[in-house]
Structure 1
Amino acid sequence: MGFQLGRLLIMLGLLLVGVGVVVLLAGRYNLPFGRLPGDIVYRGKNSTVYFPWVTCLLISALGTLILWLLNRR
């Protein structure tokens, strides 16, 4: 049990490091993550509602591809 938990924590840590690197690179190179065509933005008088629809689909597709590649045996 302890070995599996440790392995899971290491994998989650590596995943967080990977996400952090992507966020840093996206900010540095001005990549349009979160501002892709198809992302919904509603600006009212006193509020803004933002739903990154296409960004969510892209992240989901990339995550599915990565998990599929890792689980292939």
Structure 2
Amino acid sequence: MTGFGKIFIVIGIVFIVIGLLWSIFGKLPGDINFKKGNVTFYFPIMTSIIASIILSLIFYLIRKF
């Protein structure tokens, strides 16, 4: 398998992990959600921080091996 194929496999696995975590943790305390009239603003800051930490750990482990 070429290096390019491995990169696509790793990216796919990362997207699967992010999707699973997003469905499990969905809206965490610390996520910003404003609703006024028919306008809704949602910024998942806490979810983004957790996803960043997990992705950093995954990439660190991949680089290690």
TM-score, scaled to structure 1: 0.66
**Kindly tell me: are residues 24 and 59 of structure 1, through their superposed partners in 2, closer, same or farther at Cα, counting changes over 3 Å?**
closer
What count of residue pairs does the alignment treat as equivalent?
65
**Kindly tell me: are residues 68 and 24 of structure 1, through their superposed partners in 2, closer, same or farther at Cα, counting changes over 3 Å?**
closer
Partners in 2 of 1:50 and 1:9 — Cα distance?
A: 30
Tell me which of 49, 54, 61 is aligned to 2:46: 54
CA RMSD of aligned residues (A): 2.5
**Kindly tell me: are residues 70 and 57 of structure 1, through their superposed partners in 2, closer, same or farther at Cα, counting changes over 3 Å?**
same
**Kindly tell me: are residues 51 and 62 of structure 1, through their superposed partners in 2, closer, same or farther at Cα, counting changes over 3 Å?**
same
Overall identity of the aligned pairs, in % = 32
SS of structure 1 residue aligned to 2:27: coil
User: Which digits, 9 at most, give the CA deviation of each residue in 1:30-69, with x for residues without a partner?
Assistant: xxx2311110000001111000000000000111112112
**Kindly tell me: are residues 7 and 18 of structure 1, through their superposed partners in 2, closer, same or farther at Cα, counting changes over 3 Å?**
same
Structure (1 or 2) with the greater strand fraction:
2
Gaps of 5+ in 1: 27-32
- Structure with bigger RCO (C-alpha 8 Å, 6+ apart): 2
Gaps of 5+ in 2: none
TM-score, scaled to structure 2: 0.72
* Structure 2 contact 31–46 (Cα < 8 Å) conserved: yes
